[in-house]
Amino acid sequence: MAYSGLRSKLKEEWTAAEPQEATRTPFRYRRLWFGIVVSTCLVSFIPLIIMGITNYYQYQAAFEEEVKHPIRLLASNARRSLQFYLEERIALLNFIIHDKAFEELRDQKTLERVFRNLKKNQSGFVDIGLIDAAGVQRSYVGPYGLMDKNYSGQVWLRKVLLYGQHVSDVYLGYRQFPHFSVSVKLLDGAGKPYILRASLSTDDIINKVPEPTGVRASRDSFIVNQQGVLQTPSKTFGKILTPIPLELPSQADGTIIREEVDEHGRNRVVGYATINNSPFIFVVLEQRSTLLASWFALRNKLLWFLIISMTVILIISLAGATDMVNRLRKADAQRLALLYKVEHTSKMASIGRLAAGVAHEINNPLAIINEKAGLLKDYVTLFENFPHKERFLKHIDPILGSVERCARITRRLLRFAKHIDIQWEPIEMEALLKDVLAFVEKESVYRDLTISLAMEEGLPVIESDRGRLQQVFLNIINNAFDAVEDGGRIDIALAREGRDYINVTIMDYGIGIPKDQLNSIFEPFYTTKADHGTGLGLSISYGIVQKLGGKLLADSVEGEWTRFSVILPIKPPLGTKSGGKTQRVINESR
């Protein structure tokens, strides 16, 4: 009862921390793994995302500015070209009106000669006429009958009289075809104004508008007046003299580029260039999506780069965190195993001291019991006529047998408690096993047990402690005898285990050991023999094998078989034997 209670208490102490650690550890490692992954990703993703967003808007602004630049350049060039064209025509008319007097220009032949020379050197002129201060056309050269035409009610006449020159909008007029006129004013000798006016075809200014081709075929460029009426055809808004729904800028020099939303809700970029001293505004427009097509392609590449980079970082973070946590888990497991081993060693030492104390305390009353029982037996046997002699002897012999059994137990306890030096000597394993089997020969014959001994050829002689090995094998074989029924079989085999070890396997075909008990059979005081086992045999054997530098392994199938493997080194482990003197080996527990 005392052994059973001590065994239960020790087992409870050794395993108390394991469930708690087992329940805490998975969550702790998962939290650690999750924390490493999240922190690594945040440290990596936040700068990457900030850099990506910054680059995104910087590239977008640069691209928008870059795509607007060609539109601004186109509008500016067209403005200069149209302005030079109009200024050139106005300069020609100024030269003519200053070179020829009113009377000369009124002469039809003179005006025809001037007009021929004008058309010969410059394009676009349709007709030319001289208008007096009353607004009546006094001479005219052209394909239309406009002689003596009265323009006194026309707005353009008032403007040219006011400003000295004038460029009109494109209009149909009396001719009923699109054209515009250029007029200049001069005073005659009497101080009366007269006007030289020429009509120009719209073909020239249409030709001044660049026609988009290739990748810019979607671009539209045209000329409008201040009222938003087309002065040249437009791909977007239609024919000449069609009003357009654009919000035109106020009269100003230079070029204006702005973004607008069309009637379909699409963004477009529109450039406006006002032609100085004329009612014309050059307009160029293009859909924003077309302008930024290259930016969209680059944006997709940036997004893919960001996604791929984040994916690579995530994979590396997962792999690194997994490896780190696995290493930490392994280190913790090794640390716990070392702590358990140290704790177990400490407890084994305590148990050893307890066992030594118990053995010494029990040995004294056992010696007295043995002495008194022996003395009583001597008294009984000394007197032949001792009354009830047989009954006395019948009771004395079990007392002596029980004392002997207790003595054997106390001797085992003392051997378990003491650190006895190992005596190294050459041992032939086959001979040692036969010597051990000789101890149990009578019992095996009595119970009709079959014991086979198989040995691999060429096994070397090992160096070990003969007495301790005999104790180990005798304990294991006795356990095998207890496990098998009468008429059973026990197999013993010797074989080489690698280069430096031999393996002694003892296998019985008995009741077996339950799987849940296999890990406990080497613990002190643990036994499956409820009626007569002490639980010290395998524990002592395990310690002995450990001291000899070997391993004691067990495997079993309940109800079928049990196998013990004693793996022993051929040569003493390094550090256990030095200079021919026996060294003490520290007791290592499992």
DSSP code per residue over 290-306: HHTHHHHHHHHHHHHHH
Cα–Cα distances (Å) from 58 to 301, 305, 468, in that order, read 15, 16, 84
DSSP code per residue over 329-396: HHHHHHHHHHHHHHHHHHHHHHHHHHHHHHHHHHHHHHHHHHHHHHHHHHHHHH-TT-TTHHHHHHHH
pLDDT of residue 533: 57
pLDDT of residue 53: 85
Cα–Cα distances (Å) from 55 to 91, 299, 464, in that order, read 53, 10, 76
pLDDT of residue 202: 86
Q: Which residue has the tokens 């095998």?
A: 480
Q: Is the dihedral of CA 513, 515, 519, 523 positive or negative?
A: negative
pLDDT of residue 203: 84
Contact 416, 408 (CB under 8 A): no
> For the domain 100-205, what is the CATH code?
3.30.450.20
Helix axes 429-439, 466-483, angle to 10 degrees: 50
Beta-carbon contacts of 526 under 8 Å, excluding residues fewer than 6 positions away, are 7, 11, 520, 535, 539
At 532, which helix (H) or strand (E)?
Answer: none
Surface-to-core class of residue 253, CB atoms within 10 Å of its CB (0-12 exposed, 13-18 middle, 19+ buried): exposed
**Domain 420-582 listed as CATH 1.10.10.10:** no
At 169-190, the pLDDT tens digits run 998 877 678 889 999 999 988 8
pLDDT of residue 383: 74
pLDDT of residue 52: 80
CA 431 to chain CA centroid, Å, is: 64
- Walk along the chain (590 residues) and give the pLDDT tens digit of each residue: 444 444 444 445 444 444 444 445 667 888 888 888 888 888 888 888 888 888 778 777 777 777 778 788 888 888 888 889 999 999 999 999 998 889 899 999 999 999 999 888 888 899 999 999 889 999 999 888 888 889 888 888 999 999 999 999 998 877 678 889 999 999 988 889 999 999 998 888 888 776 654 445 678 889 999 889 998 998 888 888 999 988 888 766 678 888 888 777 788 888 899 888 888 999 988 877 776 666 677 778 878 888 888 899 889 988 988 998 888 888 887 887 777 666 656 666 666 677 667 777 787 888 888 888 888 878 778 777 777 777 777 888 888 878 887 877 777 666 555 555 677 889 998 888 988 888 788 888 888 889 999 988 888 999 988 888 888 898 899 888 988 998 899 999 999 988 889 999 999 998 888 887 777 777 766 566 655 555 667 778 888 888 888 999 989 888 889 999 999 998 887 765 543 333 333 233 32
Cα–Cα distances (Å) from 264 to 22, 200, 257, 261, 267, in that order, read 67, 37, 20, 8, 9
pLDDT of residue 535: 61
